[in-house]
Amino acid sequence: MLKKVLIANRGEIAVRIIRACRELGLESVAVYSDADRSAMHVRQAGEAYPIGPAPAAESYLRADRLIEVALAAGADAIHPGYGFLSERAEFARAVAAAGLTFVGPPPEAILAMGDKVRSRQAMIAAGVPVVPGTEKGLTDAEALAAAAEIGFPLLIKASAGGGGKGMRRVDRAEDVAGALSAARREAAKAFGDDTIYLEKLVEGARHVEIQVLADTHGKVLHLGERECSMQRRHQKVLEECPSPAVTPEIRERMGAAAVAAARAVNYVSAGTVEFLLDKHGDFYFLEMNTRLQVEHPVTEMVTGVDLVKQMLRIAGGRQLRLQQSDIEWNGHAIECRINAEDPYNNYLPSTGRITGVTEPTGPGVRVDSAIFEGAEVSLYYDPMLAKLIVSAESRPEAILRMRRALDEYRIAGVKTSIPLHQHLVNTTQFIAGNYDTGYLESSFEMLHDTDREADRERVAAIVATLLAHQRRGEVINRLAPAGGPSEWKLSGRRAALRRL
Per-residue pLDDT tens over the stretch 153-170: 999 999 887 778 899 999
**Residue 444: half-sphere exposure toward Cβ, Cα within 13 Å:** 26
Comparing 375 with 199, the larger pLDDT belongs to 375
Comparing 223 with 468, the larger pLDDT belongs to 223
Distance, CA of 446 to CA of 73 (rounded, Å): 48
Backbone angles phi, psi at 156, to 5 degrees: -95, 125
Pairing of strands 348-349, 341-342: antiparallel
At residue 77, the pLDDT reads 98
Comparing 459 with 142, the larger pLDDT belongs to 142
Counts of helices then strands in the chain (DSSP H, E): 17, 22
Residue 466 has pLDDT above 80, yes or no: no
Distance, CA of 258 to CA of 291 (rounded, Å): 15
The DSSP bridge partners found for residue 485 are: none
Average pLDDT for residues 211-232, to the nearest whole number? 98
Comparing 305 with 117, the larger pLDDT belongs to 305
Active site (annotated) includes residue 291: yes
At residue 165, the pLDDT reads 84
Question: In whole numbers, what is the pLDDT of the chain averaged over residues?
Answer: 91
Note the Cα 147 to chain centre separation in Å: 32
At residue 499, the pLDDT reads 54
Beta-carbon contacts of 365 under 8 Å, excluding residues fewer than 6 positions away, are 388, 389, 390, 401, 405
**372 membership: H or E segment, kind and range:** none
At residue 456, the pLDDT reads 45
Distance, CA of 353 to CA of 466 (rounded, Å): 38
Cis peptide, bond prior to residue 297, ω within 30 of zero: no
Helix, strand, coil percentages (3-state) for the chain, rounded to 5, are 40, 25, 35
Q: Could you tell me if 84 and 8 are in contact, meaning their C-beta atoms sit under 8 angstroms apart? A: yes
**384 membership: H or E segment, kind and range:** strand 384-392
Distance, CA of 154 to CA of 194 (rounded, Å): 18
Dmax over CA atoms of the chain, in Å, equals 82
B/e letters for 118-136, b = 16+ CB within 10 Å, e = fewer, are bbbebbeebebebbebbee
Average pLDDT for residues 429-435, to the nearest whole number? 95
Distance, CA of 118 to CA of 105 (rounded, Å): 17
Residue 455 has pLDDT above 70, yes or no: no
Q: Could you tell me if 212 and 263 are in contact, meaning their C-beta atoms sit under 8 angstroms apart? A: no
Give the three-class secondary structure for 152: coil
Distance, CA of 123 to CA of 291 (rounded, Å): 18
Q: Which of 62, 226, 291, 366 does the annotation list as catalytic?
A: 291
Local confidence band at 494 (pLDDT 50, 70, 90 cut-offs): low
Average pLDDT for residues 309-331, to the nearest whole number? 97
Distance, CA of 378 to CA of 388 (rounded, Å): 21
Pairing of strands 332-339, 235-241: antiparallel
Q: Could you tell me if 242 and 227 are in contact, meaning their C-beta atoms sit under 8 angstroms apart? A: yes
Beta-carbon contacts of 6 under 8 Å, excluding residues fewer than 6 positions away, are 28, 29, 30, 31, 66, 69, 70, 73, 75, 77, 78, 79
The string of pLDDT tens digits covering residues 359-418 is 999 999 999 999 999 999 999 999 999 999 999 999 999 999 999 999 999 999 999 999
**33 membership: H or E segment, kind and range:** strand 27-33
